[in-house]
Amino acid sequence: MAGLLCILIMCPFGIPLFVGIYMLVMYEQNLFTWFAALLTWKPLIATPLVLVTGSYIANRHHYPDTGYSVFEAVVIMSPAILITLGLITIFRDLVFRSNVRWSAWSLLALDMVRWGNTFVLFAIPDTFDLGIALIIMAIGIFGPTLFAIIAAYEAMALEDVDKHKKKKKRRPTVEPPYTS
């Protein structure tokens, strides 16, 4: 039981926390590293807010056979959407105008997969097929860890590209011509 509890806490919360800290400590401090680290930490903030919102809606009215309505599922996942939109607003130059915007958009696309997983988790009926429900829950548990690994890889790859560009820009010193 303790091993299962460790997996349920460490995978969605502990590993992304450590990977985000690692990115900020070990990689070059740039906007993309901050963006990737904050998106990696987003489940630490969004998950409790989503659970509180879902609990509030469930206490108001819940239909056991049909699950939440589409509107209720969107309201439940709204904290995650609002945090992502806030990060896009803060890092808008990185997302829309920089030379690393494709890496930023790939992380945003993976974040939208997390949104979709949350939506499906709350929008499906409670009497849904157990196999599909287990797959959705596994994505919810292991998704943040996978996202953290991909974000760290993207930050590391961009750091290597930046180092290569800096190395390439160095000009060799030119010796003055010898005169006799």
The reply to whether 6 falls in a domain is no
The mean predicted confidence, pLDDT, of the chain is 79
Task: Report the distance separating Cα 39 and Cα 46, nearest Å.
Answer: 11
In this structure, of 87-96, 129-138, 146-155, the range with the lowest mean pLDDT score is 129-138
Is residue 36 exposed (0-12), middle (13-18) or buried (19+ Cβ within 10 Å)?
Answer: buried
Q: Structural domain of residue 59, as residue ranges?
A: 15-157
Instruction: Name the H helices within 91-129.
Output: 92-96, 101-123
The reply to whether 4 falls in a domain is no
Which of 45, 88, 54 shows the shortest CA–CA distance to 74?
54
The reply to whether 168 falls in a domain is no
The reply to whether 7 falls in a domain is no
For the chain, how many structural domains are there in total? 1
One-letter amino acid for residue 55 of the chain: S
The reply to whether 175 falls in a domain is no
The reply to whether 152 falls in a domain is yes
**Which of 16-25, 159-168, 169-178 shows the highest mean pLDDT?**
16-25
Q: What is the value of pTM for the model shown?
A: 0.77
**pLDDT value of residue 83:** 93
